[in-house]
Amino acid sequence: MLPHSSEDLKKYGSTGEPTTELLPDEEADLEARLARVREEKRLALLDPGPSWKEWFYYRASKWYILLGFIIVLAWEVAYLFPAYGVPYYYVLPLIAATVYLQFLTYRYLWYRPKREGTSHSSREGRFRPTWLRPVPWGRWTPEAADARAGRPVILPEQGPDPREFL
């Protein structure tokens, strides 16, 4: 029900002034909540997290690129329907190329080596590009950022053993 008079408006707090006094226990609760919020703000300012650029490259762009590939793939699959009349032997290689390009894009941008175990199929200390692994680690990963900054990249076999912390 809507208020009809100015006293009703005051009762509902539309003037911005408190209509009743706080009880001592309510005041203590309010102070505790305000102290918790101030502490959360202080901690957030000390460690703000990743920048917008890092957040977009490391996380959000995966979804935009995936969505783009899904749209292209749906467009190509639509060519298989009779309305277009394109033969399947033209469309299927195109679909296969799109799926491979999507896989390659993911590997190029976000591939991170396994954390446990090493591959016995590669030589130690040397990276050789293959059809399935074009780069040692993705361009938009923390490992690639370390390598570009000149910091040593800690590979899984060089890092600490996670079993030591259990």
CA-nearest of 146, 77, 156, 91 to 117 is 156
How high is the pLDDT of residue 26? 83
Q: Is the pLDDT of residue 6 over 60?
A: no
Q: Is the pLDDT of residue 145 over 70?
A: yes
pLDDT: which is higher, 154 or 138: 138
How high is the pLDDT of residue 134? 87
Residue 66 makes CB contacts below 8 A (sequence gap 6+) with 102
Q: Is the pLDDT of residue 1 over 50?
A: no
Q: Is the pLDDT of residue 144 over 90?
A: no
DSSP string, 3-42: --SHHHHHHTTTTSS-SSPPPHHHHHHHHHHHHHHHHHHH
How high is the pLDDT of residue 3? 47
pLDDT in tens, 93-142: 999 999 999 999 999 999 987 755 455 555 556 778 888 888 888 888 88
- Write down the domain spans for the chain: 52-115+130-155
CA end-to-end span of the chain: 60
Helix axes 61-78, 88-110, angle to 10 degrees: 170
pLDDT in tens, 8-65: 555 555 555 555 777 778 888 889 999 999 999 999 899 888 889 888 988 899 999 9
Q: Is the pLDDT of residue 66 over 90?
A: yes
